[in-house]
Amino acid sequence: MTKKIHGFCLQKKERIYPNSGVSVTNNTAVVPIEIPQLKEGEILAKTLYTGICGSDTSAAIGKANFDWVERPRIIGHEFSAEVLELGPGDHGDVKVGDIFTPLAMLGCQKEACPACSVSKWNLCAEKEIIGFHRNGGFGQRVVLESDRVVHLLDGLSPVQGALVEPLSIITNALYTKCNIKPGQDVVVTGCGIIGLMSAEVARAAGARVAVTGIAQDRNIRLKKAKDRGFITLEVSPENTLRQQLKAGVFDANGVAFGQQAKVDLLIECSGVADVLTEAIGVVRPEGDICVIATYGQDVAINATHLTRTSLNIKGSMGSCRTDYLVAMKLMLTGVFPAEHYTDQYNFNELTQAFEDSITAKNMKAVVKMN
Ligand SMILES: [Zn+2]
Ligand SMILES: [Zn+2]
């Protein structure tokens, strides 16, 4: 191979505060990478498009919940790629030239594992996340286990391929964990891509959806939510979600949203501890709270209120192969309109793509890798 290949590498974990003027390059660098020898069951692939996840930016700015990631590490777990070479061993139906997206989480696949024995690698205690436990999709080449390969359905573009993993997390959370129903009033807290994907998927299921954001989100992410026809609520410590529901929230037809200031389901995508603390006060008795975010600290919950309202708080971690298939079909049929949510960058703009994501200037940064 004559061309030098590069990757976006986590190096340090100093805490960087968004909009503080400190560059993400204090913790990261685009570096030349070497292709390791392929081991049994591994393949070499050329990355096509790689998306920046909230977990990637969190790790890049040194948030405590990603301290565990070893540095140096080429990150990236949301990508499409083309198979270049098969290593030793059996690769099933994976062939050179195949276009795929990888399962972000690879389980131990031991028979005795309670998660892997039911094909839920996302819940395996020993799962390995590509881009965190091993080098990932922000390298121009990537070596991975062929067990991770999910072939893209015909008709899906490589750009859409980079969105399959995040969308699969939402389909798992909403359709499998929360059993969302038509006619429900749903609040999505947080208007990053996971929040807005949740809003789209909830609406597709027949729910009425309101999305919250903060002042920083007003011109880009909340505006996008509004353009897409969702109710939008800009919240602050002085004007909380709970206060706004109490004061009355209305949909585009002027019909009241929620009942007595309570909704049926709240989907927590902000990762802000106080938001989850507040959430149990805005969901109706026997309603659901679905937690998709992770937190840099413990979250205080009024457990007595939880008991007295018979609320269900459900965590939802990652996704598995079946969720990937659902996500791909949602994009193929246009139920999830990926084109409204992708901001494309070239490889030489990779650091800028991270900066823009950290400062909430885009929706989903997707980087053309080669
Ligand atoms: Zn992710
Ligand atoms: Zn396992």
pLDDT in tens, the chain (370 residues): 457 899 999 999 999 998 899 999 999 999 999 999 999 999 999 999 999 999 999 999 999 889 999 999 999 999 999 999 999 999 999 999 999 999 999 999 999 999 999 999 999 999 999 999 999 999 999 999 999 999 999 999 999 999 999 999 999 999 999 989 999 999 999 999 999 999 999 999 999 999 999 999 999 999 999 999 999 999 999 999 999 999 999 999 999 999 999 999 999 999 999 999 999 999 999 999 999 998 888 999 999 999 999 999 999 999 999 999 999 999 999 999 999 999 999 999 999 999 999 998 999 999 999 9
Instruction: Please tell me the number of the ligand nearest to residue 122's CA.
Output: 2
Q: List the beta strands (DSSP E) in 220-350.
A: 231-234, 263-268, 283-291, 312-315, 342-346
Instruction: Please tell me the number of the ligand nearest to residue 79's CA.
Output: 1
pLDDT value for 342: 96
Going from the Cα of 105 to the center of ligand 2, the distance in angstroms, rounded, reads 10
Going from the Cα of 243 to the center of ligand 1, the distance in angstroms, rounded, reads 32
CB-CB neighbours of 294 under 10 Å: 14
CB-CB neighbours of 298 under 10 Å: 7
Instruction: Please tell me the number of the ligand nearest to residue 111's CA.
Output: 2
Going from the Cα of 167 to the center of ligand 1, the distance in angstroms, rounded, reads 9
Residues in CB range of 23: below 8 A, 6 or more apart: 16, 351, 355
8 A C-beta contact, residue 61 and residue 15:
yes
Going from the Cα of 118 to the center of ligand 1, the distance in angstroms, rounded, reads 22
Going from the Cα of 41 to the center of ligand 2, the distance in angstroms, rounded, reads 17
Edge-to-edge strand ranges of the sheet holding 73-74: 28-32, 6-10, 73-74
pLDDT value for 179: 81
Going from the Cα of 103 to the center of ligand 2, the distance in angstroms, rounded, reads 14
pLDDT value for 65: 86
Cα–Cα distance, 43 to 85 (Å, whole number): 6
Q: DSSP string of 50-116?
A: EEPPHHHHHHHTT-GGGTTS-SSEE---EEEEEEEEE-SS--TT--TT-EEEE-SEE----TT-TTG
Q: CA of 136: how far to CAs of 51, 113, 156, 172, 310, in Å?
A: 11, 25, 22, 23, 42
CB-CB neighbours of 281 under 10 Å: 16
Q: State CA 226 to chain mean position distance.
A: 21
pLDDT tens readout for residues 70-87:
999 999 999 999 999 999
Going from the Cα of 141 to the center of ligand 1, the distance in angstroms, rounded, reads 19
Fill in the amino acid letter for 76.
Answer: G
Return the closest-CA partner of residue 53 out of 367, 368, 370, 369: 367
Give, for 29, the enclosing helix (H) or strand (E): strand 28-32
The strand pairing partners of 259, in sequence order, are 262
Instruction: Please tell me the number of the ligand nearest to residue 164's CA.
Output: 1
Per the document, the length of the chain is: 370
pTM: 0.94
Going from the Cα of 154 to the center of ligand 2, the distance in angstroms, rounded, reads 30
pLDDT value for 360: 87
Going from the Cα of 234 to the center of ligand 1, the distance in angstroms, rounded, reads 25
Q: CA of 71: how far to CAs of 25, 102, 133, 202, in Å?
A: 14, 22, 10, 37
Going from the Cα of 158 to the center of ligand 1, the distance in angstroms, rounded, reads 17
pLDDT value for 19: 87
8 A C-beta contact, residue 156 and residue 325:
no
CATH numbers and ranges of domains, the chain = 6-165+319-368 (3.90.180.10), 179-315 (3.40.50.720)
Q: State CA 107 to chain mean position distance.
A: 19
pLDDT value for 292: 96
Going from the Cα of 335 to the center of ligand 1, the distance in angstroms, rounded, reads 21
Instruction: Please tell me the number of the ligand nearest to residue 168's CA.
Output: 1
Going from the Cα of 216 to the center of ligand 2, the distance in angstroms, rounded, reads 40
Instruction: Please tell me the number of the ligand nearest to residue 55's CA.
Output: 1
Instruction: Please tell me the number of the ligand nearest to residue 124's CA.
Output: 2
